[in-house]
Amino acid sequence: MLNIESVNLMQLTIDLAKKNLAKNKIPVAAIIVDGQTNEIIAKATNDNSPIGHAELKAIKKALKKLNTNRLDGCEMYVNLEPCPMCAVAISKVHLSKIYFGAEDEKGGGVINGPKIFSLPNYRSPEIISHCLAEQSSELLKKFFLNKRKTKEAI
């Protein structure tokens, strides 16, 4: 169960994703916080690059800000289940916990797809799934519905 602080941080993540939706970009956002204080260390949104995922961008910002190569004790909030690429990065930097909203049945790498954290040699953070999942799903549905209507490539 989420505490009020976690709900607020997840809502902040969704609000950040909404800004991307308003720009006609994939509405995915990630926030990294200090696990003890909940101080925001980094936040990012997806861009139009195939590797410009919010999780990777937030990790890069957090590593730079903390001048380190590991994020022990840090937690990530993301409104969509991380893909395999992002799950590997999360494992490699030792994030302690991830909270995510909507499942990604086609492209996920945590509870769907290859389930990266269950593979040998990959460190598994604590996983809190389906956090404000309905709000996250609605954002993504709106985005892809609009793309289908305009037949615009992603």
Active site residue 75: no
Catalytic residue (one of 5, 39, 55, 126): 55
Q: How far apart are CA 131 and CA 92, in angstroms?
A: 23
- What is the pairing mode between strands 97-102 and 29-34? unpaired
Distance CA 93, CA 75 (A): 11
Q: Where are the beta strands (DSSP E) in 9-133?
A: 29-34, 40-45, 74-80, 97-102, 126-128
C-alpha 81: how far from chain center: 6
Q: How many residues does the chain have?
A: 154
Taking alpha carbons only, the member of 82, 1, 5, 86 closest to residue 39 is 5
Supply the residues annotated as catalytic. 55
